[in-house]
Structure 1
Amino acid sequence: MITKKSKIGFIGTGVMGKSMVYNLLQSGYNVSIYTRTKSKAQDLLANGAQWKNSVAEIAQTSDLIITIVGYPKDVEEVYFGSNGILENAKPGSYVIDMTTSKPSLAVKIYEQAKANQIHSLDAPVSGGDVGAKNGSLAIMVGGDKDAFNAVSPIFNILGENIILQGDAGAGQHTKLSNQITIASNMIGVCEAIIYAKKAGLDPERVLQSITTGAAGSFSLSILGPRMIKGDFEPGFYVKHFIKDMTIALESAQEMGLSTPGLSLSLELYKELAEKGEADSGTQALIKLFQA
């Protein structure tokens, strides 16, 4: 069981990870961090986080290691190899990958972790920058029930809707279902706002009506207003959404599924990225419709 006396290592302090670490610190946990660019973590260090110089050092000194990095290749890099987590973590420790990544990679990590007497969970999240700041993320978990129960105190700080979906990889499959839903929804949000403007309506007033009805969603309530205001700062990067949708499309194809909504959204977001918006928030999709 993870307690306040446990040492937590956290790798990846980007838009999401930064707020997650802050919430753990505010809850009284001992947190060490490592990220590629130390300067971006200075405010966390000022708030009590401890710096470690490498992934290996984080693994060697922690009872629980949490990762939320960019791409599957980044997950591979931090978990495997002589300098990775699995070769350096203590037997009996816990690892949680909260990156949205490949289900097959989650299974690979789980199997190697088990061979090294380490408990592994895949636990991608949804809720964006707002959910990370508020500690209200949806957390989708794959792995063993005993490990899930042991780290539940940590999950309860980071999120509110926390569900063990099944064995290793199940968390990632659930997150891909989430991203497939958002993919088509984002197109609908953009079209609705543009339609409202063309009809001579105040789009903000339109949102007041439709966000509480059957059309309601996070994308409509949180990202819709940002679109209207021209606020394209990233709560979630376009480039990372493209990564997620690509993984989801590949996974669907492996299962023989047709996902036309996902395919169209991925095509549009790739076009958006080619126009220089890869580092913008996903709400920047409306720029294609405005054009």
Structure 2
Amino acid sequence: MTKAFVFAGNETVGNMVADRLCGAGWQRVGDAGAADAVLTYFTTQTALEDAYFGDNGIVQGARKGTQIIDLSCTTPTFARELNAMACVADLVAVEAPLVVTDVAVPDAFAARENLGCFVGGEEDCVEAAREVLDLLVAHVTDAGGPGSAQLARAAYSLQAAAQLVAAVEADALYHAVRTSSDMGEIAGMRAGAITPAGDALLAAVTDGRFDGTYTVEMLMGELTAALTTADDADLIQPQAEA
């Protein structure tokens, strides 16, 4: 029997999900009430909350037993709230925030090997979602119970953003000093980076590639979720805020 899914949210991620699932024999439908699985990815908290809890939202419209897989970066608090509401509605909910390994490739979502996720939720729900997650991404890291995957993703977001910013600033310094002194030109005019992600980003900047499918909107959504998580814990993160 063919399984059906619904996707709501970002079109780029939605296309990736549809390609993977339809390639595995799933059918895309437009109504959460007719789906075996509902997948979501939003870059803003408001859109995410509206999708699940608004009028005719997913929690209200999905039938009992439906898998709910949220690929968005949000807060542990929201993830726990969604899990609680899903349990009341007899839905099988997990949080599985996406991780893009190399954000600088032109189509960051095309290769399964370039994608991973953290996954959190009740143990039986996580187990039920593994079939879908393994189709979507190459690396699935089990973080624990409800809220744990979003906490892990927030920590990852802070470190990943810091590495990218450090690589860009180091390269800017290197380029500025080289071009404003008598040190001479060198091929590429790059300082290099100490992480693969930073080096890939600098290569994209050097080549003038600024139109990839991983966007600034996605990066800012990830950072916003991480900073909101810190704010919920009364913790100030000066580097990420800057």
TM-score under structure 1 length normalisation: 0.72
Residues 196/64 of structure 1: CA separation in 2 closer, same or farther (3 Å cut): same
Unaligned runs of 5+ in 1: 33-51, 265-291
Residues 29/73 of structure 1: CA separation in 2 closer, same or farther (3 Å cut): same
Alignment match of 1:218 (pick from 174, 185, 197): 197
Aligned residues of 1:196 and 1:203 also touching (Cα < 8 A): no
> Is 1:138 aligned with 2:116?
yes
1:235 offset after TM fit, Å?
3.0
Residues 81/258 of structure 1: CA separation in 2 closer, same or farther (3 Å cut): closer
Aligned residues of 2:109 and 2:213 also touching (Cα < 8 A): no
CA distance in 1, matches of 2:234, 2:75: 17
Aligned residues of 2:43 and 2:222 also touching (Cα < 8 A): no
TM-score under structure 2 length normalisation: 0.85
Unaligned runs of 5+ in 2: 179-184
1:79 offset after TM fit, Å?
0.7
Alignment match of 1:94 (pick from 62, 67, 87): 67
Aligned residues of 1:20 and 1:132 also touching (Cα < 8 A): no
1:260 offset after TM fit, Å?
2.9
1:55-204 equivalences under 5 Å are 57=31, 59-127=32-100, 128=103, 130-136=107-113, 137-198=115-176, 199=178, 200-203=185-188
Aligned-residue CA RMSD (Å):
2.2
Residues 191/234 of structure 1: CA separation in 2 closer, same or farther (3 Å cut): same
Higher helix proportion (structure 1 or 2): 1
Aligned residues: 230
Residues 18/114 of structure 1: CA separation in 2 closer, same or farther (3 Å cut): same
Alignment match of 2:229 (pick from 244, 251, 254): 251
Quote the residue 2:181 is aligned against.
Answer: none
Aligned residues of 2:175 and 2:189 also touching (Cα < 8 A): no
Residues 145/204 of structure 1: CA separation in 2 closer, same or farther (3 Å cut): farther
CA distance in 2, matches of 1:246, 1:11: 20
Task: Kindly provide the amino acid, as one letter, of the partner of residue 196 in structure 2.
Answer: S
> Is 1:16 aligned with 2:13?
yes
1:70 offset after TM fit, Å?
2.5
1:238 offset after TM fit, Å?
2.0
Return the structure number with greater relative CO, CA threshold 8 A, min gap 6: 2
Aligned residues of 1:141 and 1:166 also touching (Cα < 8 A): yes
Aligned residues of 1:132 and 1:158 also touching (Cα < 8 A): no
1:71 offset after TM fit, Å?
0.9
